[in-house]
Amino acid sequence: MHADYLEKTGSKISYNSFHKTFKSMNISMALLGHEECEICSTMAMHKKDCHCEDVCDISEFLGHKTRYRAARKEYQQDSQVNTEEKRLIVSADLQKVIMLPRMEQFKTAVFTRRLTVFNETFAEVGKGKRNHAVVWHEATSGRRDEDIASAFYEYLLGARSSPRGIEPKKKENIVNNLLPLMPPNRRFFWNDLPLNAHAKDLTVFDE
Ligand SMILES: [Zn+2]
Ligand SMILES: [Zn+2]
């Protein structure tokens, strides 16, 4: 925020005075999300007492910069496309873990046991789009790969307009030939699969 102000206005006000001015107006300056990238932080610390960009090996940072700029560009393009066309493009992010209850002003709440809560947010990129949060706590599920994948599944179930379906002949083949070989608890999925005569065949053959 301070750096941004200096860049835009060209003024030379110190961070301290900048911060004081805001404080006097009762506006708190929060670091966005308190989230910092390790590579960028390392570089910022390095730059503080070193001006030897030609001497030091900063290739890791430069590669990182190329990648985050490319990612940002893709994100902006997606946001453009998502606004103009009827497509679903979302960015997904696991939010900072919240410990509930969050009532620091009450002593009883300060000393109580906490419940770890997770929030995977799916934000449709572009203007005027919706956000969806899939929320769970440690008694429901954790933060392993499969837990995060379940959050994606949950989101996609709600986001789709209708099931894709399976071509009737194909379903018949599976039900008649494969089902007898499956354990009974796996058969429901195939039996319940909705039909769609125009379903595109997604089979991929490896040659
Ligand atoms: Zn970074
Ligand atoms: Zn250096």
What is the per-residue pLDDT across 131-159, written as a single tens digit (0 to 9) for each?
Answer: 999 999 999 998 899 999 999 999 998 88
Q: Are residues 141 and 180 in the same domain?
A: no
The pLDDT of residue 31 is above 60 = no
pLDDT of residue 54: 65
Q: What is the mean pLDDT of residues 52-71?
A: 87
Separation CA 10–CA 143 (nearest Å) = 45
Among all bound ligands, the one having the nearest atom to the CA of 61 is: 1
What does 74-129 look like in DSSP terms, one character per residue? HHHHHHHHHHHSS---EEEEEPPPEEE---TT-HHHHSSPPEEEEEEEEEE-STT-
* 93 CA to centre of ligand 1 in angstroms: 16
Among all bound ligands, the one having the nearest atom to the CA of 48 is: 2
* 45 CA to centre of ligand 1 in angstroms: 13
* 120 CA to centre of ligand 1 in angstroms: 21
pLDDT of residue 85: 74
pLDDT digits (tens, 9 = 90+) for 153-197: 999 988 877 788 899 999 999 999 999 999 999 999 999 999 998
Q: Are residues 154 and 176 in the same domain?
A: no
Among all bound ligands, the one having the nearest atom to the CA of 69 is: 1
Q: Are residues 96 and 139 in the same domain?
A: yes
Residue 58 lies in a domain: no
* 123 CA to centre of ligand 2 in angstroms: 38
* 55 CA to centre of ligand 2 in angstroms: 6
* 201 CA to centre of ligand 1 in angstroms: 41
Residue scoring higher pLDDT (139 or 27): 139
Among all bound ligands, the one having the nearest atom to the CA of 57 is: 2
Separation CA 132–CA 93 (nearest Å) = 11
Q: Are residues 127 and 175 in the same domain?
A: no
Domain count, the chain: 2
Q: Are residues 156 and 173 in the same domain?
A: no
Residue 27 lies in a domain: no
| Poorest-pLDDT segment among 51-60, 114-123, 136-145 | 51-60
Residue 34 lies in a domain: no
* 117 CA to centre of ligand 1 in angstroms: 26
Specify which of 48-57, 73-82, 141-150 reaches the highest per-range mean pLDDT. Answer: 141-150
The pLDDT of residue 64 is above 90 = yes
The pLDDT of residue 33 is above 60 = no
Assign 53 a pLDDT band (cuts: 50, 70, 90).
low
pLDDT of residue 104: 78
* 43 CA to centre of ligand 1 in angstroms: 9
**175 phi/psi in degrees, rounded to 5:** -65, -40
Query: What's the mean per-residue pLDDT of the chain?
Result: 85
Among all bound ligands, the one having the nearest atom to the CA of 72 is: 1
Residue 23 lies in a domain: no
Residue 51 lies in a domain: no
Q: Are residues 156 and 170 in the same domain?
A: no
How far is CA 88 from its chain centroid? 15
Domain that holds residue 97: 64-161
Residue 11 lies in a domain: no
Residue 109 lies in a domain: yes
